[in-house]
Amino acid sequence: MSAAAQPAPAAEGRQPLVAIHGLSKYYVRGDQVIPVLVDLDLDVYAGEYVALMGPSGSGKSTLLNLIAGIDKPSSGEIRVTGVDIAALSDSELALWRSMHVGFIFQFYNLMPVLTAFGNVELPLQLTTLSRAERRERVATALELVGLTDRATHLPNELSGGQQQRVAIARALITDPTLIVADEPTGDLDRVTAQEILGLLARLNDELGKTIIMVTHDPKAAETAHRLIHLEKGVLVG
């Protein structure tokens, strides 16, 4: 799968999964207004694998955070599956995230006191699934990322690549609408990074997961369907 800077796939009448219109984000420091994202429009369709690239400070992580509903825009609209998430209250947004977003972080962000199993199970604590159903789902997710035999290990007993696999299993476990990945290979060596990127590509290809990934790494970006460049808060390609 190669991903040069490509336009969004023809909509062909389809509604975008993520529809961003006139999005701006700025910070106010004293009497100074610092723009991070400026009047941005972007559509992401279901099943897409999008890479967000750009230099440090270009606003790519901020854009990802806004799409994932962990930050609020200064103005504009973000619709995900038709819901204007910028208009949701704090608690509505928390519930929305738990159902629609899977997170993959650069430093894995696993709970150090929980085993691989416990970490993957964590998002399911927010559901009404029974214990047996949770167990079954966690076992499937761990099998998918090839870590069935590491289920009882704590994060500090796992390699970086294995920890990121646990994080991917955690991101998948609730079958979210969208997976957001912020520099998922940023803390990994080249070989391990390739393994993780291969896994993400599989999730997209085989499970049809929509993935939006922020990365600095052009090789990582190549695995995506579409490449979006940001510079100084503006889309450039």
Partner 1 sequence: MAIPLGYIARNLLARRLTTALTAGGMALVVYVFASVLMLAAGLRQTLVSTGQDDNVVVIRRGSQTEVQSGIDRSQTGIIESLPDIAVAADGMRLVSKEPVVLISLPKRATGKPANVVIRGVTAASLDLRPQVRLVEGRMFRPGTSEVVVGRSIATGFRGTDLGETLRFASRDWTIVGVFDAGHTGFDSEIWGDAEQMLQAFRRPVFSSVIFRLADPDRFDAVKATLENDPRLTLEVKRERQFYADQSQALAKFISTLGTGISIIFSIGAVIGAAITMYASVASRTAEIGTLRALGFSRGAILLAFLIEALLLGLIGGIAGLVGASAMQALTISTTNFQTFAEIAFSFTLTPGIVVASLAFALAMGFIGGFLPAARAARMKIVDALRAA
Amino acid at position 210, single letter: T
**94 near partner 1 (CB under 8 A):** yes
Q: Which residues pair with 101 in a beta bridge?
A: 178
C-beta separation of 8 from 45 below 8 A: yes
- Choose the binding region for partner 1 from 39-47, 50-58, 89-97, 203-211 (rule: CB under 8 A): 89-97
- Choose the binding region for partner 1 from 33-41, 46-54, 68-76, 205-213 (rule: CB under 8 A): 68-76
What is the smallest separation between the CB atom of 62 and partner 1, expressed in angstroms?
A: 8
Distance separating alpha carbons of residues 104 and 186, to the nearest angstrom: 11
**65 near partner 1 (CB under 8 A):** yes
Q: What is the dihedral of CA 69, 74, 75, 77, to 10 degrees?
A: 0
**83 near partner 1 (CB under 8 A):** no
What is the smallest separation between the CB atom of 152 and partner 1, expressed in angstroms?
A: 14
Q: What is the dihedral of CA 235, 10, 102, 91, to 10 degrees?
A: 80
Supply the DSSP symbol for 69. T
Q: Which residues pair with 20 in a beta bridge?
A: 42, 78
Distance separating alpha carbons of residues 182 and 173, to the nearest angstrom: 18
What is the smallest separation between the CB atom of 236 and partner 1, expressed in angstroms?
A: 24
Continuous H helices in the chain: 60-68, 90-100, 116-121, 131-144, 160-172, 190-207, 218-222
**131 near partner 1 (CB under 8 A):** no
**24 near partner 1 (CB under 8 A):** no
Residues 106-125 that bind partner 1 (CB under 8 A): 106-107, 109, 111-114, 118, 122-123, 125
- Interface with partner 1 (CB under 8 A), residue total 28
Q: Which is nearer to partner 1, 142 or 227 (CB)?
A: 142
Q: Where does this chain bind partner 1 (CB under 8 A)?
A: 65, 68, 70-71, 90-91, 94-99, 101, 103, 105-107, 109, 111-114, 118, 122-123, 125-126, 170
